[in-house]
Amino acid sequence: MAIEVIVPRLGWSMEEGTFGEWLKRDGDLISPGQALFVLEGEKSAQDIESFDGGILKIPANAPRPGDTVKVGQVLAYLVAEGESAPAEIGKSETTGAKRQATAEVESAKQSVEVIGRGANATSGPGTARSSPRARRRAAELGVDLKGLQGSGKGGRIRERDVAQIAKGQAAASPAASVTKGRPTTAPAASRMRKAIAARMSAGAHEAAPVTLTTRCDATNLVNLRGQFKAATSAGEAVPDYNVLFVKLAAAVLGRHPIMTWQWGGGDIVVPEGMHIAVAVDTEDGLLAPVIRDVNRLSLRQLAEELRRVIDQARGPGLSENELQGGVFTVTNLGKFGIDAFTPIINLPQSAILGIGRISRERAVVDNLVVPRDQVTLSLTFDHRVVDGAPAAKFLNDLRLAIEQPSPWLVS
């Protein structure tokens, strides 16, 4: 009996995705574990491995690159030698409910490998691997991406590559039909942009968000970071401010576990593990990769892991699993010169910490005016789960930890 190849669920909220391309051809012999096709979820594209073996049969009406596909949808079939497969998708007797259940099983069992590319507009030799932003920009400027090599990992074409290509084309041919200036209409939102919009709207409207802010003396934290920088050998990851903030947040969360609780199914859910999400700005949009078991990592281990996930997010891409399971999020806009802001909760989490820039200011210490490094902390929490007093106690303890970081980092 023919085995259906179906669309798995890559993330907890995924209902549909974009079919990228086949990695095997019709008639190829497939072994379990071989990468079969590319599927783009909400925030990443992945190689999907086959859970079964057999000869691949791709019907004529199978989805094409760029098509939207639903979780549980049949894409093709695997058959034994001499066995026939339905000529068209939809001719088998498998019910929709069974397909959905199979999709859940495959999602749980299969191993996925990140390939860090968006779904291609076409497939086959000469197809360019490109980010969603690059494809939208190429469409605006009339740039053909086929056969081009980008500056991203593995030759992936990025938005800035498209701009350079368009600039070169315009210089070579002044009469080229490249639109100069701003486009008259906004580009269509990518799947990732839509996913970000949905999550941000949910965080603002489905939760009961409240934001608390406090000023914090970060002088000792700045000095500590300077000591780490001076003591770090060449090639080692230096614990930067983000590393210190994430580690301190995890330590304080250990004393205020209520800040990791979540609202789900009409009741409070208590998740396991100190898994902290860190907001990362990428060319494709905002991502929040999750660092697992932050409380068990040393500062240098945390620095290495944070550097890895940031490089993955901005380079080859992250798997859906690396974007799931966080219990708290840290977002830092300090490098952009922002003092304070209102972060939006990353549901299903119930709290997010926003960090502003560290600036040298005049402060009164022991009745003397002295220069001190100051930073503003902004905590947004879900009032359905946490009341104001517990949230304020957490934020105050975090302030104290930042002002005297050493005892918290060695405990």
Position 120 in a domain? no
- Residue 158: CATH number of its domain: 4.10.320.10
The pTM score is 0.63
* 145 and 276 part of one domain: no
Position 370 in a domain? yes
Residue 266: predicted pLDDT: 86
Locate 176 and state its tokens. Answer: 């080229």
Type of residue numbered 272? E
* 182 and 197 part of one domain: no
Position 397 in a domain? yes
* 284 and 155 part of one domain: no
* 180 and 245 part of one domain: no
| Per-residue pLDDT at 223 exceeds 90 | yes
- The model's confidence at residue 139, banded by pLDDT at 50, 70 and 90, is confident
Domain end (from 155, 172, 188): 188
Q: Report the pLDDT averaged over residues 359-385.
A: 95
Model confidence over 395-411: pLDDT tens digits?
999 999 999 999 998 76
Residue 284 backbone class (left: φ over 0; alpha: ψ -120 to 50; beta: rest): alpha
* 355 and 403 part of one domain: yes
* 180 and 326 part of one domain: no
Domain end (from 83, 114, 145): 114
* 312 and 370 part of one domain: yes
* 166 and 205 part of one domain: no
* 155 and 288 part of one domain: no
Query: In total, how many domains does the chain have?
Result: 3
Residue 42: predicted pLDDT: 66
Q: How far is 85 from 82, CA to CA, in rounded Å?
A: 10
Boundaries of domain holding 243: 192-410
Min mean pLDDT across 22-31, 153-162, 174-183 is at: 174-183
Q: How far is 345 from 263, CA to CA, in rounded Å?
A: 12
Radius of gyration of the chain (CA): 25
* 92 and 159 part of one domain: no
